[in-house]
Amino acid sequence: MEQLTGKVAVVTGGASGIGLAMATRFAAEGMKLVLADIEPDTLERAVAGLPAGTEAVPAVVDVSTPEAVERLRDTALDAFGAVHLVCNNAGVGSGGPVADTPLADWAWVLGVNLWGVIHGVRTFLPVLEAQGEGHIVNTASVAGLFAAPYMGAYNVSKYGVVALSETLFNELAIAQSPVGVSVLCPSWVKTNIADSSRNRPGGRGDEAEASAIAEAIQNFISTGIEPEAVADAVAEAVKVRRFWILTHDDTHAAVSMRTKAILEDGPPPMLMH
């Protein structure tokens, strides 16, 4: 999709962080927007803060629920009659040892980070193919390329997004589909994902543990890049139909270290990028 002006973008997790940065960049390209998020008040403020003249519709959506994503599709089609770019971006963070991670946290993280992308692909792909044009961007992470300790549920969810995206890319290539696919794998970005537990079903769980994990993650996030830099990379990838969207210079070296360990039958390296 070399030309974005006048096209319609759907962005989940669009009220803050990378999602809002992408929406703002797409608005600057002249796109019409449907912003989806689980937080109504934050979503309304996000839409109100978009560049003047932007045609944008808010949609409160829990992406872990297929029916909610189907309603999001209907909202977009009712508002604009088409969807050209789908950014399955909604995500949550969680940490702690695998042995101590509650099943509820596994269900929550996988429900949003992985099932949310699955629902987005299954729901919107037929629309894109029927109109003969479109692009899907699935937000994974460098945690989908190598696995740091104490991030088990998050790592599993992001590895799943990468696997889904690679599979989809090749299936669409075999079918000579006009629909493009990209997978976004950023490292640390200055977002509020460290406070994801505010939206955890049933509350934050162990407040002390949640606070400690959030503080540890926030220390890494504070060294990250701005969401706007990620949004620029996404917009460029969509225009040129690039599959991999890697936002940090050190990602390639980390992937090479992991690949080298695999090829040499070595243990997985300790990578915290």
- The residues annotated with a catalytic role in the active site are 154
What does the DSSP assignment read for the chain? ----TT-EEEEETTTSHHHHHHHHHHHHTT-EEEEEES-HHHHHHHHHTSPTT--EEEEE--TTSHHHHHHHHHHHHHHHS---EEEE-------B-GGG--HHHHHHHHHHHTHHHHHHHHHHHHHHHHHT-EEEEEE--GGGTS--TTBHHHHHHHHHHHHHHHHHHHHHHHTT-SEEEEEEE---BSSSGGGGGGGSTT--SSHHHHHHHHHHHHHHHTTSB-HHHHHHHHHHHHHHT-SEEE--TTHHHHHHHHHHHHHTTPPPP----
